Every structure is written in structure tokens, then in C-alpha cells.
Structure 1
Amino acid sequence: MTARRTRLIVALDTKDTAQAARWRDQTAASADAVKLGLEFTYACGLDAVRQVAGPRSLFLDLKLHDIPNTVASAIGSLAATRPAMLTIHAMGGAAMIAAARQAVDRAFPPEARPLLLAVTVLTSMDADALHGIGIADDPCRQVLRLGALAMESGADGLVCSPREIAPLRDRLGGRAVLVVPGIRPEGAAMGDQKRVMTPAEASRAGADWIVVGRPITTAADPAAAAAAVAAELAG
């Protein structure tokens, strides 16, 4: 469907700085970026985020979601980590997303501005989970609504499940950077993910980046597991 190159982000989901650094080094030959999120940041702090990321491209996945002023102030506080990508929740609404856009533009020089990515619907949620919080739409319709809102409000791209890549491409074309968790190589355990695809399927659908954590980091040989995902993307 697309000629775009899909790149790999390895999720370093741990509370252990040394372990995160080992995974970073083991996967460096195959991964284009590393992800550090809530688990690592809350346990280890922003100095450790900067230390572990080192020279690697950093996807800082903290999913900021608060009133506009608080989110904007938080983005200013994160500038020292030098992320290549950072996340906010699209459910925060247009004003929050616009405030985040302005904060990114203020806090970072033009050559070092991270991609501002809006999280749409978590990959652990299905229609029943959405209905349980009062959202009548199915995940795809909710993702399309939030995705359009986020892009109109200043986001550079979206975090979505693999199942929404093609509908978002149909709606938004190529202008949205799509970062896609919920990736499970053939034969991998689903874990807590509900809306999944293999790396090759997500690439064909039009993902710019895929995020893979446990299928790589819990493998007996993380370097080989990351290389296998990269080979699938290249194939």
C-alpha cells in the first residue's frame, strides 16, 4: 500500500537503569530509536532517561494529559531529555493539544523539536472497554475522530493501534506520522494487547514507526529478536 520505510522503536520497559542500557546496546544495530515511558521515568527519573537514551533517538512516551497550562509547563520541564518524539493524550482536547504545540515550539530550538504525537485509543482497549467508559463508538471511529482533532490542533502525528493505520491513511493521507504499538511478531504472546498486527502487516498498512517491547526484551537473545523484526520490516 505504501513505499514509506517503517522503522523500529524498542520499548525499554523496566525500572532498572542498567537493564535498560543493556537492551539499548543489544538492539542498537537493528532499532532506529528507543522508547522510555512511565515505568522507567517514574522509577529512575529524568536524569536516567537522558543517560539511558544517550545518543539514540528517544521516544519519550509519558502520555501527558491535564489542563492545557499544566501540560505546556510539563513539556518545558522535559526539554532537557532531548526527545525525538513525545506523547500527549488526544482525549485532552483541542486546547490542550494546541498548548502542547506552542510549548514544544517555545521549549526546543527548531532543529531539535521533537515530534508531538497524540495518543488516540490505547492498544489494550477494545469496543467493550470503550463502552465501559461511556464511549459508544468502536475503536476505529474513535481513533479517526481523535486523530483528525489532534492533527487540526497542531500535533505532528498519532499513536494508534495497527488496526487503525489504513483508515487513518485514508482520512489523513501521508501528513500524519503514525507510531504504532501493539505489534506482535508471528507466534508471540498477545499479552494485554487487543488490536495487533505483525511487523510486516503494520508496514504494509502504512506505519512510519512500530514499537516493540516484550517480544524483543524478554527473548532469550534480544539482539536476534530485534534483528528478526528489522528483517521483517526490510523484507
Structure 2
Amino acid sequence: MHDANRDKLIVALDLPDATKARAMIERLGDAVTFYKIGMELAYGGGFALVDELARAGKHIFLDLKLHDIGHTVEKATAQIARLGVRFVTVHAFPQTLAAAARGARGSALQVLGVTVMTSYDDSDLVTAGYRLNVRELVALRARQAKEAGIAGLILSPEELKATRALVGADLLLVTPGVRPAGAALDDQKRVATPSDALKRGANHLVVGRPIISAPDPHAAALAIQKEIAEVCA
């Protein structure tokens, strides 16, 4: 019987090409059911992996962070919906959210809005010209995403609890910036352990380097799956 809790872990294949990604998928085996293909891999031959992963019974998250005029986003989202992926990301601007929702309509594709990148903090937003801090901007994007009718949000662990209280159970909350206890932060500024993120309301955890850069990626993935199972039991 399929254990839905295992789908809560999404492994980010942050690798430069499809050959390296295939080797990592082979190493991870049955420890992982859900993979994220981001921009680096997508533009390094990763689109060819979508069909391969689908045929292997895996779920696919295409993390392209679409943002353009509405017509372009709508048409691009409709094309992605034909690929059989489960999640796609767009930047959570109101027009972009609405366009992506139109493009995905009638398909199984679920659109996730990126609120504030986990490598940003309040000072980064000021530099970029925003008048809101991280928490305020995430809350605004959450309300706009709910109004647009998309499936969920990408947000850091720090904003999970407040956002879950704001949106209730209506939206999926998917969080990168998840690091097992003792792992390096890399370029992430707003992070949490897997168990903390789940307790704060996350539906899915995106984990990249702590798994794919581990000496034994399979064991690293299994350790996180064990932590997920304990929290969700």
C-alpha cells in the first residue's frame, strides 16, 4: 500500500546535467518518491527526465519560477500541464498567479506560488525596493494566491505557522530551506529541521544538498523519511 507520508519529502536534483541526475536517482532508489527539477537541471537536459521519472512511478516538481506577461505564463503553464508533472512554480505576483491558474485549469497540474526566496531577508527586500518585510510580504502573497485559486505556496519554514493560520487547510505549503540538525546552511537564511517544518504546517519538504551531497545519499534520504514518519504517525 502506498504511504503518502513518503511523498512529503521532495528531493531537489540540483545537479548540472541529466547524466548526473540519473545516477543520483539510481542511488536513491526506493527511498525517494518525489523529485524536483530546477532551472539548472532543466536547462541541462532535465526535461528528458520528466517522462522517465513518470514511467518509474515518481512524482515530479518542475521548479521553473515562471514570471512574464499573463498570456505567456498561461500558455507556458498549459504546455507544462501536458508533461504529466505534479507541481510547477510561478512567482507569486497576482497577474502571474491568475494566468498560471488559467493555464493549469482542467489538468492535474498544481501551481505553487513562490512568496519570498529563502535566501532573502528583510534587508534584501529593502534593497529590492519593497516596503514590506518578509513576514508581511509572505502574508500578502498568501492572500493573493488564495484569491487566484492556485494549489499552494513556496515559503520558508519561518513563515509556515503564521501562513497556515492565515490560509487554513486550503493551500499546500511547500518549504525549501529544510536542513537536518547539524547540516550546513549553505546560502539559506531562513531554515528549519524536517520535524520542525512539519509541525509548523508544511505539506512537503524540499531537500537538496543535505541528501545529494551526503556520502551516502540513500541513507540520508531514509533518515529524513524516518523523521517524517515519526512526526506524521
Q: Same fold (TM over 0.5)?
A: yes
Cα distance in 2 for residues equivalent to 1:45 and 1:202: 28
In the other structure, the counterpart of 1:68 is: 70
Letter in 2 for 1:19: K
Contact between 2:64 and 2:90, CA under 8 Å: does it hold in 1? yes
Match of 1:103 in 2: 103
4+ aligned runs moved over 4 Å, structure 1: none
Cα deviations by residue, 1:61-101 (Å, 9 ceiling, x for unpaired):
1010111100011112223421111111103x2x3212211
Is this contact kept in 2: 1:47–1:81, CA < 8 A?
no
Asked if 1:40 is matched to 2:41, the reply is: yes
Please tell me the root mean square deviation across aligned C-alpha atoms, in Å. Answer: 1.7
Unaligned runs of 5+ in 1: none
Code of the aligned partner of 1:217: I
Opposite residue 105 of structure 2, the aligned amino acid is D
Percentage identity across aligned positions?
Answer: 39
Partner SS, residue 81 of structure 1: coil
Match of 1:83 in 2: 85
Match of 2:59 among 57, 60, 64: 57
The CA distance in 2 between the partners of 1:213 and 1:45, in whole Å, is 16
Partner of 2:169: 174
Deviations 1:15-44 (A, max 9, x none): 221221222233342323100010011121
Whole-angstrom distance in 2 between the partners of 1:69 and 1:225: 42
Q: Secondary structure at the match of 1:201?
A: helix
Report deviation, 1:144.
Answer: 0.6
- Relative to the length of structure 2, the TM-score reads 0.91
Calculate the TM-score normalised by the size of structure 1.
0.90
Q: What is the SS of the residue equivalent to 1:131?
A: helix
Structure 2 portions without partners, runs of 5+: none
Distance 1:15 1:213 in 2: 13
Q: CA deviation at 1:150?
A: 1.1
Contact (CA 8 Å) 1:12, 1:213: kept in 2 or not?
Answer: yes
Conserved? CA contact 1:34–1:53, under 8 Å: no
Report the counterpart of residue 12 of structure 2 in structure 1.
Answer: 11
Give the whole-Å Cα distance in 1 for the aligned partners of 2:54 and 2:10.
12
* 1:203 counterpart residue number: 198
Distance 1:51 1:30 in 2: 17
- Structure with larger RCO (C-alpha < 8 A, sep 6+): 1
| Paired AA for residue 75 in structure 2 | S
AA at the equivalent of 1:228: A
Partner of 1:24: 25
Alignment of 1:209-220 (within 5 A): 209-220=204-215
Give the CA deviation at 1:45.
5.1
Query: Does the Cα contact within 8 Å between 1:11 and 1:36 map onto a contact in 2?
Result: yes
3-state DSSP class of the match of 2:105? helix
Pairs aligned (count): 225
The whole-number CA distance in structure 1 between the counterparts of 2:77 and 2:153 is 17
Is the partner of 2:68 in helix, strand or coil? coil
Distance 1:174 1:219 in 2: 34
- After the TM superposition, which residues 96-175 of structure 1 pair with which residues of structure 2 at under 5 Å, given as runs? 96-106=96-106, 108=107, 113-175=108-170
Native 8 Å contact 1:34 1:59 kept in 2:
yes
Per-residue CA distance 1:128-171 (angstroms, 9 max, x = gap): 10110111222111101011101111211100000111001111
SS of 2:30's equivalent in the other structure is coil
TM-superposition CA deviations, 1:154-201 (whole Å, max 9, x none): 211100000111001111111110010000111111000000000010
CA 1:21 to 1:52, structure 2 compared with 1: closer, same or farther past 3 Å? farther
Q: Distance in 1 between matches of 2:222 and 2:43?
A: 29
In structure 1, C-alpha distance between the alignment counterparts of 2:136 and 2:33, rounded to whole Å: 31
Shift of 1:115: 1.3
